[in-house]
Structure 1
């Protein structure tokens, strides 16, 4: 008997902008296809709801609170989604089926770390080792 692997949660960041040559009708068709695809995966328990992000925002640092966006336009994050998969490769393969890829968007897929942060464990926030 084959036992399924436990599913882990992955955060998907939607990046980029629509291809400039696309008409509003072509973009809307991709959006409609995305929501149909996403709804099917939510129903199957493979994705959880996410949201688009509004255009405005703030960056908060110890120096100041400043207006966004926060990177170059090619780095824009347009929204986030949650994928449930047995591995990072499986989550990426699922996102490779996203209908909006053909229209200029891309997706960053990141495992969600279930552990609390610790100063003694290397993480995304840990500076590189000094030489």
Structure 2
């Protein structure tokens, strides 16, 4: 088994955005999306592949060490940026191929009009995992 983090990117970059922003969805469309996500998690819990997930607030702070004690703090990231990490899910799967399969399935969550949002997901292995695929 190998653990992977699937980072959900909410992008407003026109060249990558293939879906209507969630702010423009009807309440029923939001409910359908959330039901899909919950059913996805429930299935992974049943197979033992689900470790955890969290949604992230669009507000955040950048912090870095400055060598002088109290670190400087900068506002950001901002929701107005072209790309924002909206949350993540940790999975524990048999293979890189399975991780790719699940990321593709999660990317197909419904959006406006019930169409798949084709959301970009960043698939990151935890240290010590060497991704390889049979394709």
Tell me the TM-score normalized by structure 1: 0.70
Which is further off, 104-113 or 17-26?
17-26
1:109 aligns with 2:123: yes
Counterpart position of 1:12 = 6
Structure 1 gaps, min length 5: 1-6, 116-131
Alignment: residue pair count: 109
Partner SS state of residue 55, structure 1: coil
Report matched runs for 1:43-122 at 5 Å.
Answer: 43-62=46-65, 64-69=72-77, 73-98=81-106, 99-100=108-109, 102-103=116-117, 105-114=119-128
Shift of 1:73: 2.8
The one of 35, 40, 50 equivalent to 2:38 is 35
Cα offset, 1:104, TM superposition: 5.0
* Alpha-carbon RMSD: 2.5
| 1:85 to partner: Cα distance | 1.6
The C-alpha deviation readout for 1:34-71, integer Å capped at 9, x for no partner, is 11111121221112111001222111124631111168
**TM-score w.r.t. length of structure 2:** 0.68
SS of the counterpart of 1:76?
A: strand
SS in 2 for 1:105: coil
